[in-house]
Structure 1
Amino acid sequence: MMKTWTLGKVMKRSKELSAHFRLLSGTVFLGILIFPTHLMAVFFLATENPEHNTTPPANAAEARAWGLQGIWRTCQGTPIAPRWFLSAKHIGGAIGDPFTVHGKTHYAIARILDPDSDLVLWGVTESFQDHAALFREGDEIGKRMLVFGRGEVRGRPVFLKTDTIQELKGWKRGSGQAMMRWGENIVTEIADDPVLIQEGLGHLIGAEFNREGLPDEAGLGPCDSGGGMFLWQDNEWKLAAINYAAGGRYKTTQQGNGFDAVLFDEGGLFACRDENCRAEDSWEFIEDDEVDQPGSIWGTRIQYRSSWIEENIAAMPDPETSIILESAQEPTGPFEAETAWSLSQIPLALEIRVPESRRFYRMKTTDRVRLLAPILSDDKLLLPFSGR
């Protein structure tokens, strides 16, 4: 029988939350560092078919949530306002990077980092076709959740060997070409430990990767980062979290460096409990009980930071207002504001009239940016820019 969870009840863990989440953030870091080409994504307990759930769900409301997943770098982001999308801070990115959603490419022109979580807001060049509502209030525990990611099928199975049997525990990181997939899970935990807040992670939503889970029970991996976790509320799927981390680093014996995996039962394995996994005391043995001890997937909780999100967008609904262009007759100044400019998308540039005399230009925005070589086009001058 599938486990059920009481609404409003936060699951308690036997190990300290602070140690557990150092593991999670360390897993994301190690995964990117050691396996840069393995952009592991949504994978399933029930099947290893690489084509499973690579098309939108049949349900129209769920298909809309699928359509709201855009490509940001090798990962994802979700539009949440006409000119803003939300993603994971640890993915990175720069002014000028492309974000593709609904078959259209937009370019980032503004960035706002959340100081108190892994969230980041990116403003873009043109309005989105559609955007997600936020799960601002209400209880997440016990709700069915849609999850989205880009990448690979599950990897090799992880077996715990005993004298008589080999017991399947889960799967290692996989391989394959990145592709969009969707899955489902049940929210089982809200992690709001003070240590998480002190470390700038905010609140996290957790869901277990259960052996007896939903039909499309899904696990996540490092470059699912930035994808959306959606919950049903008020007759629509609302964005409740942004994918942050999953699984951990394990060993089946005390020897070796271990491997990254998402498991439906950690019992009988050694799990890394710090960021480097190198010291002998980095590893904790997990007793193999009769009851499964499932691994989890985690997302940065929107409800905890919804006010920050909404206040920043309200203060700058048009991200172009963050751009300041200045010019001077000499490179040392004095500089004065240029107001008669427009934004060009291809190439990404500020478009101005050709000046009548020599001018030097500089540009400011919410993040590091530099002007590139100017392009003369008839009576117009294009000033391309990039954050890289």
Structure 2
Amino acid sequence: MGRIYCFFTANYPPKLGGVEIYTQCLAKALVRRGNEVTIVTLNDKKVSEIQWDNGIRIIKIPGIDAFAGRLPLIRFNKAFRKFCGNFKSETFDLVIVQTRYYPISVYGARYAKMKNISCIVLDHSTAHVNVGGSVINKMFAVYEHVMTEILKSLDCRFFGVSQACNRWLEHFHIVPQGVLYNSIEREVAQEMQAHDILKKYAIPEDVKIILYAGRLLREKGIEKLVEAVSGLREKHPELCLVVAGDGELYKELSEKNVGNCIWLGRVKHNEVLELMKRSLIFCLPSDYAEGFPTSVLEAAVCRCYTITTTAGGSKELLTGMDYGMVLEQNQGAEVLKNAIEYVLDNPELCRRAVENNYNRVLKYFTWDTRAKEMEEIL
């Protein structure tokens, strides 16, 4: 007999990010296994709304996008109070709270406590969030500690999406109960559209593509990647850096008009997968507080060689050169340039690593596996 699960998460698709995709994919896997799933999330309206997606009930409650969308807040209005009154009658077997520092996380944990429902918190971070200057960052770190203490007081159990996340939880004097790894759908590389992605974006057929996909933030390493690829231009004129993503650095970097870089802006998720299939290297040179980037899993099932950093849980997938390349974070462009050149000079190593990584992901990092683990928590 299936169980009934409820997720509380600040954002949910069509808003895209690692936590949003994690929530959606795990929910779908639980439904496929005969369970019922409700997702409580925020919209940017003054009213609540209910939607259904692949058997998942999605309740969107009134929200406010604060701090440029980085800290979504609950809108405490009449519609929210009505939702609270109606939701008290709901019954669940497990409440799952996504991340520690959103007000909706505390609301979900308090709801579970009030209803005497077991509650787990899934953590996706490996350091304090960088939200601005040093003073703002320090203030947010204090806020994060306060929110975490509230969740601890509500008898939540904590799980990281990687071992790196669990080590970070120890910073808050939390003993994690286990790891629920970020994962991938087995069929993700087969769900791509038939049209030719290279023609759509005017990417030459005869180039070797290095792909970056994600937000264009300084801490994600996009600037040093541009510098590294530019430094290889003379020796490897066949190289082309394709950048799929938007963010605070997009205008500044794209207007520099570096010859071997193509800037696509925001790209649909399925098109990112198509690009991965056509790329030689996927590069995520992040110094950001990653949990376990979904993109490194997607690159693996699209059979694209991955170069990334020790930031977050990627090193738990790429456990050695037999699977891909993991650089120490906070390295400069020269180190990244040498890493790319090493891959170009060793095509057989690259081919073996791609196959090894593909097989490793399908064996250990699928959503059906995570859904089984979630059921075992109960």
The interval holding the TM-score normalised by the smaller chain is: under 0.3
Structure possessing the higher radius of gyration over alpha carbons: 1
Provide the TM-score with structure 2 as the length reference: 0.27
Provide the TM-score with structure 1 as the length reference: 0.26
Higher percent of residues as strand:
1
Which of 1 and 2 has higher RCO (CA within 8 Å, sep 6+)?
A: 1
